[in-house]
Amino acid sequence: MLLKTESNMNFLITVFIAIMLMLSMNVSGQRIRFNNPIAEKRADPWVYKTDDGMYYLIATVPEYDRIVIRKAPTINDLGAAKEKIVWNKHAIGNLAANIWAPELHKIDGVWYIYFAAGTSEDAFDIRMWVLSNGSASAMEGEWKEEGRIVTKMESFSLDATVFEHKGKRYLLWAQNVFEEGHGTGLVLSEMKSPTELMGPEVIITKPDFNWEKVKYHVNEGPAVLMKNGKIFVTYSASATNHNYCVGLLWIDESEDILDVSNWHKSPGPVFYTNADFMRFGPGHNCFTTSQHGETVMIYHARDYKEIQGHELDDPNRATRARAVKWTPSGFPDFMQKIGD
């Protein structure tokens, strides 16, 4: 009888340990489930998570005429959150066309929106602009136009993102860096203030590989991810149809990030179309964290391949979310062969 009791106890202990391990995995290592798409007809998404755990979503609208923000306590809740228009394009002159790729950042207690805009005379004469708001919530208060971010090269520029490293703030953006023709590379510079650059402006990548040159020569939409002693930068390449895809740069965090020779580049895309999951032209992503601290990639894609007319006239790039895992060598694994 005693032996049977001890056997039962051992069995119960084993079951208990197994349950605890599964619960632990559910908290720290589960495959997060998202209600995709998070937002229909929202491209170039950017999600900002506040210190108190609230999520803001800002993205390009298909009419290219305004900037909208929504706020929710979880990533999934962003889908049903009420959207607010915080700024509208101008009728004429600057800031009057192609309002693209807004990003929301909070710097020294002030909200900033970095975005791209063309003119009423030329919709593709695009430059980077900034709005600011000193309210506690980005959904409240008045957004002030801070003007244009002036770069040393006077050319097509967009997709600005901001990050801090070793006590300094940097701007990373896409710009036409070719003396002849058109194509965008990624440019990096230290910031004097949230609206001004200082020092050298370094081109850290241009389209080198064939997969970056389908229809257009494009490196754009940079997003910064810092982990495991490295700074990773994802970016998007090629035309914004099913050929759109995500590339990867990286550098050791101890290296000089303004020295282009310290940067490394993946020879192939790390995330791209997978028809098995109805995922076409994924790109222009950002990174955030889930409620449990897992790395999450927010990006846009279509659920069909064939587009009628020009890809920029198709409104159905939708905001999606997926977990990012990590390889034993400390690199992000975008799980190309797995659904969201």
Backbone angles phi, psi at 280, to 5 degrees: -120, 130
Has residue 288 been placed in a domain?
A: yes
Give me the pLDDT at residue 33, please: 86
Q: How do residues 98-116 score in pLDDT, each as one tens digit?
A: 999 999 999 999 999 999 9
**Is pLDDT of 3 > 90?**
no
Residue range 326-339: average pLDDT? 97
**Is pLDDT of 23 > 70?**
no
Band (179; pLDDT cuts 50, 70, 90): confident
Torsion of CA 127, 108, 296, 40, to 10 degrees: -50
**Is pLDDT of 181 > 90?**
no
The whole domain housing 288 covers 42-333
> The tokens 């995922």 sit on which residue?
279
Q: What is the pTM of this model?
A: 0.91
**Is pLDDT of 22 > 80?**
no
Has residue 19 been placed in a domain?
A: no
Give me the pLDDT at residue 20, please: 38
**Is pLDDT of 330 > 50?**
yes
Higher pLDDT, 264 or 27: 264
Band (1; pLDDT cuts 50, 70, 90): very low
The yes-or-no answer on residue 252 being catalytic is no
CATH code assigned at 176: 2.115.10.20
Residue range 296-306: average pLDDT? 98
Has residue 23 been placed in a domain?
A: no
Residue range 21-40: average pLDDT? 65
Computed over every residue of the chain, the mean pLDDT equals: 92
Has residue 5 been placed in a domain?
A: no
Give me the pLDDT at residue 31, please: 58
Residues sharing a CB contact under 8 Å with residue 220, sequence separation 6 or more, in sequence order: 158, 159, 174, 184, 186, 235, 236, 237, 284
Has residue 33 been placed in a domain?
A: no
Give how far Cα 1 sits from Cα of 4, 8, 11, 14, 245, Å. 5, 11, 15, 20, 65
How far apart CA 102 and CA 176 sit, in angstroms, is: 19
Q: How do residues 41-100 score in pLDDT, each as one tens digit?
A: 999 999 999 999 999 999 999 999 999 999 999 999 999 999 999 999 999 999 999 999
Give me the pLDDT at residue 8, please: 52
Please name the amino acid found at residue 149.
I
Give me the pLDDT at residue 24, please: 38
The yes-or-no answer on residue 44 being catalytic is yes
How far apart CA 18 and CA 24 sit, in angstroms, is: 10
CB atoms within 10 A of CB 169: 16
Residues sharing a CB contact under 8 Å with residue 332, sequence separation 6 or more, in sequence order: 225, 227, 232, 248, 270, 295, 324, 325, 326
Give me the catalytic one of 103, 159, 201, 220: 220
Contact by Cβ (8 Å): 188, 204 = yes
Has residue 267 been placed in a domain?
A: yes
Higher pLDDT, 59 or 17: 59
**Is pLDDT of 319 > 70?**
yes
Give me the catalytic one of 44, 201, 212, 340: 44
Q: How do residues 273-290 score in pLDDT, each as one tens digit?
A: 999 999 999 999 999 999
Has residue 15 been placed in a domain?
A: no
Residue range 172-188: average pLDDT? 94
Count of domains in the chain? 1
Has residue 59 been placed in a domain?
A: yes
**Is pLDDT of 186 > 70?**
yes
Residue 18 DSSP symbol = H
